[in-house]
Structure 1
Amino acid sequence: MNAAWIIPFIILGGALQTCGAAMNGQLNKSLVNPFLASSVSFLVITFFFLALFFAMPHPLPTTQDIREMPWWAVFGGLVGAVQVFAGLTLIHRVGSGTFIAITVSSALIASLVIDHFGWFRMNVHAINPTRLAGALLLVGGVVLITRK
Protein backbone atom coordinates (compact mmCIF):
# COMPACT_ATOMS: atom_id res chain seq x y z
CA MET A 1 0.00 0.00 0.00
CA ASN A 2 1.31 3.43 -0.95
CA ALA A 3 2.28 5.41 2.17
CA ALA A 4 0.13 8.37 1.05
CA TRP A 5 -3.00 6.24 1.53
CA ILE A 6 -2.21 5.00 5.04
CA ILE A 7 -3.72 7.88 7.04
CA PRO A 8 -6.83 8.29 4.82
CA PHE A 9 -7.41 4.52 4.99
CA ILE A 10 -7.16 4.58 8.80
CA ILE A 11 -9.57 7.54 8.91
CA LEU A 12 -11.98 5.65 6.67
CA GLY A 13 -11.67 2.60 8.93
CA GLY A 14 -12.47 4.70 11.99
CA ALA A 15 -15.50 6.25 10.33
CA LEU A 16 -16.70 2.85 9.15
CA GLN A 17 -16.21 1.43 12.66
CA THR A 18 -18.82 3.90 13.86
CA CYS A 19 -21.17 2.91 11.05
CA GLY A 20 -20.53 -0.77 11.75
CA ALA A 21 -21.38 -0.37 15.43
CA ALA A 22 -24.67 1.31 14.55
CA MET A 23 -25.41 -1.30 11.88
CA ASN A 24 -24.68 -4.13 14.32
CA GLY A 25 -26.94 -2.48 16.87
CA GLN A 26 -29.78 -2.56 14.34
CA LEU A 27 -28.93 -6.16 13.45
CA ASN A 28 -29.29 -7.09 17.12
CA LYS A 29 -32.56 -5.16 17.38
CA SER A 30 -33.93 -6.99 14.33
CA LEU A 31 -32.71 -10.48 15.23
CA VAL A 32 -33.53 -10.07 18.95
CA ASN A 33 -30.86 -12.55 20.12
CA PRO A 34 -27.39 -10.96 20.53
CA PHE A 35 -25.60 -14.27 19.99
CA LEU A 36 -27.45 -14.86 16.71
CA ALA A 37 -26.71 -11.28 15.64
CA SER A 38 -23.02 -11.71 16.48
CA SER A 39 -22.94 -14.99 14.52
CA VAL A 40 -24.53 -13.38 11.47
CA SER A 41 -22.11 -10.46 11.65
CA PHE A 42 -19.08 -12.74 11.81
CA LEU A 43 -20.39 -15.12 9.13
CA VAL A 44 -20.53 -12.22 6.68
CA ILE A 45 -16.96 -11.26 7.61
CA THR A 46 -15.77 -14.87 7.34
CA PHE A 47 -17.29 -15.38 3.88
CA PHE A 48 -15.91 -12.04 2.69
CA PHE A 49 -12.34 -12.86 3.71
CA LEU A 50 -12.57 -16.47 2.51
CA ALA A 51 -13.62 -15.17 -0.91
CA LEU A 52 -10.64 -12.78 -0.92
CA PHE A 53 -8.33 -15.57 0.16
CA PHE A 54 -9.50 -17.86 -2.65
CA ALA A 55 -9.12 -14.99 -5.12
CA MET A 56 -5.60 -14.19 -3.86
CA PRO A 57 -4.23 -17.27 -2.06
CA HIS A 58 -0.61 -16.10 -1.97
CA PRO A 59 1.47 -15.63 0.07
CA LEU A 60 0.94 -18.61 2.35
CA PRO A 61 2.72 -19.05 5.69
CA THR A 62 5.67 -21.38 5.87
CA THR A 63 5.96 -24.05 8.55
CA GLN A 64 8.57 -21.83 10.17
CA ASP A 65 6.11 -18.89 10.25
CA ILE A 66 3.52 -21.06 11.97
CA ARG A 67 6.05 -22.46 14.43
CA GLU A 68 7.19 -18.95 15.41
CA MET A 69 3.66 -17.63 15.80
CA PRO A 70 2.85 -16.82 19.44
CA TRP A 71 0.05 -18.90 20.94
CA TRP A 72 -2.06 -15.81 21.60
CA ALA A 73 -1.98 -14.48 18.02
CA VAL A 74 -5.04 -16.48 16.92
CA PHE A 75 -7.22 -14.89 19.62
CA GLY A 76 -7.22 -11.38 18.10
CA GLY A 77 -10.55 -12.00 16.39
CA LEU A 78 -12.11 -13.28 19.59
CA VAL A 79 -10.88 -10.21 21.45
CA GLY A 80 -12.38 -8.05 18.67
CA ALA A 81 -15.64 -9.95 19.02
CA VAL A 82 -16.04 -8.51 22.51
CA GLN A 83 -16.14 -5.04 20.96
CA VAL A 84 -18.62 -6.14 18.30
CA PHE A 85 -20.85 -7.74 20.92
CA ALA A 86 -20.65 -4.63 23.11
CA GLY A 87 -21.59 -2.49 20.13
CA LEU A 88 -24.56 -4.50 19.04
CA THR A 89 -25.97 -4.83 22.54
CA LEU A 90 -25.18 -1.41 24.02
CA ILE A 91 -25.07 1.23 21.28
CA HIS A 92 -28.83 1.85 21.40
CA ARG A 93 -28.66 2.34 25.17
CA VAL A 94 -25.92 4.97 25.21
CA GLY A 95 -25.97 6.38 21.67
CA SER A 96 -23.40 6.22 18.90
CA GLY A 97 -21.41 9.27 20.06
CA THR A 98 -21.02 8.06 23.62
CA PHE A 99 -20.28 4.48 22.55
CA ILE A 100 -17.56 5.46 20.07
CA ALA A 101 -16.11 8.14 22.39
CA ILE A 102 -15.66 5.58 25.16
CA THR A 103 -14.40 2.96 22.68
CA VAL A 104 -11.81 5.30 21.18
CA SER A 105 -10.56 6.62 24.52
CA SER A 106 -10.26 3.16 26.07
CA ALA A 107 -8.52 1.89 22.92
CA LEU A 108 -6.12 4.82 23.00
CA ILE A 109 -5.23 4.33 26.66
CA ALA A 110 -4.72 0.59 26.14
CA SER A 111 -2.60 1.28 23.05
CA LEU A 112 -0.38 3.70 24.98
CA VAL A 113 0.26 1.00 27.60
CA ILE A 114 0.87 -1.66 24.92
CA ASP A 115 3.30 0.66 23.08
CA HIS A 116 5.06 1.70 26.29
CA PHE A 117 5.77 -1.87 27.39
CA GLY A 118 6.10 -3.40 23.91
CA TRP A 119 3.43 -6.00 24.62
CA PHE A 120 2.32 -8.34 21.83
CA ARG A 121 5.69 -7.86 20.14
CA MET A 122 5.00 -4.22 19.33
CA ASN A 123 7.87 -1.76 18.97
CA VAL A 124 8.33 0.26 22.15
CA HIS A 125 7.04 3.85 22.06
CA ALA A 126 7.41 5.21 25.57
CA ILE A 127 4.66 7.23 27.22
CA ASN A 128 5.91 10.79 27.47
CA PRO A 129 4.30 14.01 28.68
CA THR A 130 3.01 14.89 25.21
CA ARG A 131 1.35 11.51 24.67
CA LEU A 132 -0.07 11.59 28.19
CA ALA A 133 -1.48 15.09 27.61
CA GLY A 134 -3.10 13.89 24.39
CA ALA A 135 -4.73 10.99 26.22
CA LEU A 136 -6.00 13.30 28.97
CA LEU A 137 -7.43 15.70 26.37
CA LEU A 138 -9.19 12.81 24.67
CA VAL A 139 -10.66 11.62 27.97
CA GLY A 140 -11.78 15.20 28.65
CA GLY A 141 -13.50 15.20 25.27
CA VAL A 142 -15.23 11.94 26.15
CA VAL A 143 -16.52 13.48 29.37
CA LEU A 144 -17.98 16.38 27.36
CA ILE A 145 -19.50 14.09 24.72
CA THR A 146 -21.12 11.77 27.24
CA ARG A 147 -22.73 14.55 29.29
CA LYS A 148 -26.36 15.13 28.58
Structure 2
Amino acid sequence: MMQDQASSYIFILLAVIVGFSLASQAGINSQLRVGLSTPIQAAFISFAIGTIVLGLIALKQGEPWFINEGFNNIPWWAWAGGALGAFNIAMSIYLVPKLGALALAISIVGGQVIASLIYDQYGLLGYPKIEL
Protein backbone atom coordinates (compact mmCIF):
# COMPACT_ATOMS: atom_id res chain seq x y z
CA MET A 1 0.00 0.00 0.00
CA MET A 2 2.79 2.41 0.91
CA GLN A 3 4.52 1.81 -2.44
CA ASP A 4 1.25 2.46 -4.31
CA GLN A 5 0.85 5.74 -2.45
CA ALA A 6 4.45 6.73 -3.21
CA SER A 7 3.90 5.85 -6.88
CA SER A 8 0.76 8.00 -6.91
CA TYR A 9 2.72 10.97 -5.58
CA ILE A 10 5.38 10.47 -8.23
CA PHE A 11 2.73 10.28 -10.94
CA ILE A 12 1.05 13.45 -9.66
CA LEU A 13 4.42 15.21 -9.58
CA LEU A 14 5.05 14.13 -13.17
CA ALA A 15 1.61 15.44 -14.17
CA VAL A 16 2.40 18.80 -12.54
CA ILE A 17 5.68 18.87 -14.48
CA VAL A 18 3.70 18.17 -17.67
CA GLY A 19 1.42 21.11 -16.82
CA PHE A 20 4.45 23.34 -16.29
CA SER A 21 5.84 22.09 -19.58
CA LEU A 22 2.60 22.84 -21.43
CA ALA A 23 2.54 26.41 -20.14
CA SER A 24 6.19 26.77 -21.12
CA GLN A 25 5.65 25.19 -24.53
CA ALA A 26 2.95 27.70 -25.48
CA GLY A 27 5.24 30.63 -24.66
CA ILE A 28 8.24 29.06 -26.37
CA ASN A 29 6.23 28.27 -29.51
CA SER A 30 4.75 31.76 -29.48
CA GLN A 31 8.27 33.16 -29.63
CA LEU A 32 9.02 30.78 -32.50
CA ARG A 33 6.03 32.30 -34.25
CA VAL A 34 7.55 35.79 -33.89
CA GLY A 35 10.47 34.69 -36.05
CA LEU A 36 8.22 32.95 -38.58
CA SER A 37 5.21 34.13 -40.53
CA THR A 38 2.31 32.22 -39.02
CA PRO A 39 1.25 30.05 -36.09
CA ILE A 40 0.91 27.15 -38.52
CA GLN A 41 4.56 27.42 -39.56
CA ALA A 42 5.61 27.57 -35.91
CA ALA A 43 3.45 24.54 -35.10
CA PHE A 44 4.95 22.67 -38.05
CA ILE A 45 8.51 23.35 -36.88
CA SER A 46 7.56 22.37 -33.32
CA PHE A 47 6.02 19.09 -34.53
CA ALA A 48 8.95 18.38 -36.85
CA ILE A 49 11.41 18.71 -33.98
CA GLY A 50 9.17 16.63 -31.72
CA THR A 51 8.85 13.98 -34.42
CA ILE A 52 12.62 13.75 -34.79
CA VAL A 53 13.11 13.48 -31.02
CA LEU A 54 10.43 10.79 -30.66
CA GLY A 55 11.76 8.92 -33.71
CA LEU A 56 15.25 8.81 -32.23
CA ILE A 57 13.90 7.59 -28.88
CA ALA A 58 11.77 4.94 -30.63
CA LEU A 59 14.78 3.75 -32.64
CA LYS A 60 16.87 3.58 -29.47
CA GLN A 61 14.23 1.37 -27.81
CA GLY A 62 14.68 -1.24 -30.51
CA GLU A 63 11.01 -2.27 -30.57
CA PRO A 64 9.46 -3.45 -33.86
CA TRP A 65 7.83 -0.62 -35.77
CA PHE A 66 4.17 -0.23 -36.60
CA ILE A 67 2.98 -3.71 -37.46
CA ASN A 68 2.22 -6.04 -34.56
CA GLU A 69 -0.65 -8.18 -33.28
CA GLY A 70 -2.77 -5.21 -32.18
CA PHE A 71 -2.38 -3.10 -35.32
CA ASN A 72 -5.64 -4.28 -36.90
CA ASN A 73 -7.55 -3.68 -33.66
CA ILE A 74 -6.86 0.06 -33.50
CA PRO A 75 -10.15 2.00 -33.70
CA TRP A 76 -10.42 4.48 -36.58
CA TRP A 77 -10.62 7.46 -34.21
CA ALA A 78 -7.34 6.56 -32.50
CA TRP A 79 -5.49 7.96 -35.51
CA ALA A 80 -6.85 11.47 -34.73
CA GLY A 81 -4.36 12.08 -31.88
CA GLY A 82 -1.78 13.69 -34.17
CA ALA A 83 -4.39 15.97 -35.72
CA LEU A 84 -5.60 16.99 -32.26
CA GLY A 85 -2.02 17.62 -31.20
CA ALA A 86 -1.45 19.82 -34.26
CA PHE A 87 -4.67 21.72 -33.52
CA ASN A 88 -3.73 22.16 -29.84
CA ILE A 89 -0.24 23.43 -30.60
CA ALA A 90 -1.35 25.77 -33.40
CA MET A 91 -4.21 27.21 -31.32
CA SER A 92 -1.95 27.68 -28.29
CA ILE A 93 0.55 29.56 -30.45
CA TYR A 94 -2.25 31.70 -31.87
CA LEU A 95 -3.93 32.36 -28.50
CA VAL A 96 -0.91 33.05 -26.26
CA PRO A 97 -0.42 36.65 -27.37
CA LYS A 98 -4.17 37.28 -27.22
CA LEU A 99 -4.92 35.71 -23.82
CA GLY A 100 -1.63 35.45 -21.94
CA ALA A 101 -0.38 32.42 -20.03
CA LEU A 102 -2.93 32.39 -17.20
CA ALA A 103 -6.14 32.85 -19.22
CA LEU A 104 -4.91 30.32 -21.78
CA ALA A 105 -4.06 27.78 -19.07
CA ILE A 106 -7.35 28.26 -17.21
CA SER A 107 -9.31 27.90 -20.45
CA ILE A 108 -7.41 24.77 -21.47
CA VAL A 109 -7.76 23.20 -18.03
CA GLY A 110 -11.47 24.08 -17.99
CA GLY A 111 -11.94 22.29 -21.30
CA GLN A 112 -9.94 19.33 -20.04
CA VAL A 113 -12.06 19.08 -16.88
CA ILE A 114 -15.34 19.20 -18.83
CA ALA A 115 -14.12 16.58 -21.32
CA SER A 116 -12.72 14.42 -18.50
CA LEU A 117 -16.05 14.42 -16.66
CA ILE A 118 -17.79 13.20 -19.82
CA TYR A 119 -15.12 10.62 -20.69
CA ASP A 120 -15.05 9.16 -17.18
CA GLN A 121 -18.84 9.14 -16.78
CA TYR A 122 -19.38 7.18 -19.98
CA GLY A 123 -16.03 5.38 -20.30
CA LEU A 124 -15.30 6.94 -23.70
CA LEU A 125 -12.05 6.82 -25.70
CA GLY A 126 -10.68 3.93 -23.70
CA TYR A 127 -10.98 5.57 -20.29
CA PRO A 128 -12.34 3.42 -17.48
CA LYS A 129 -15.94 4.17 -16.61
CA ILE A 130 -15.91 6.13 -13.36
CA GLU A 131 -19.27 7.55 -12.40
CA LEU A 132 -19.44 11.03 -10.91
Same fold by TM-score greater than 0.5: yes
Matching residue of 1:95: 100
Question: For residues 65-117 of structure 1, what are the alpha-carbon distances to aligned partners after superposition, in whole Å with 9 as ceiling and x for unaligned?
Answer: 00111111121121122111111011111111000110011111111101111
Matches within 5 A, 1:16-95: 16-58=21-63, 63-95=68-100
SS at match of 1:95: helix
Question: For residues 39-87 of structure 1, what are the alpha-carbon distances to aligned partners after superposition, in whole Å with 9 as ceiling and x for unaligned?
Answer: 1000010000000011112265663300111111121121122111111
Partner amino acid, structure 1, of 2:57: L
The whole-number CA distance in structure 2 between the counterparts of 1:93 and 1:111 is: 26
Q: TM-score, normalised by structure 2?
A: 0.87
Identity over aligned residues, as a percent? 24
Q: How many residues get paired? A: 126
Matching residue of 1:115: 120
Q: TM-score, normalised by structure 1?
A: 0.78
Which blocks of at least 5 consecutive residues in structure 2 are unaligned?
1-5
Shift of 1:7: 1.2
Which blocks of at least 5 consecutive residues in structure 1 are unaligned?
128-148
The whole-number CA distance in structure 2 between the counterparts of 1:6 and 1:37 is: 30
Runs of 4+ in 1 over 2 A off after TM superposition: 2-5, 57-64
The whole-number CA distance in structure 1 between the counterparts of 2:64 and 2:16 is: 27
The whole-number CA distance in structure 1 between the counterparts of 2:29 and 2:66 is: 32
**15, 40, 59: which is aligned to 2:20?**
15
The whole-number CA distance in structure 2 between the counterparts of 1:45 and 1:63 is: 24
The whole-number CA distance in structure 2 between the counterparts of 1:10 and 1:59 is: 28
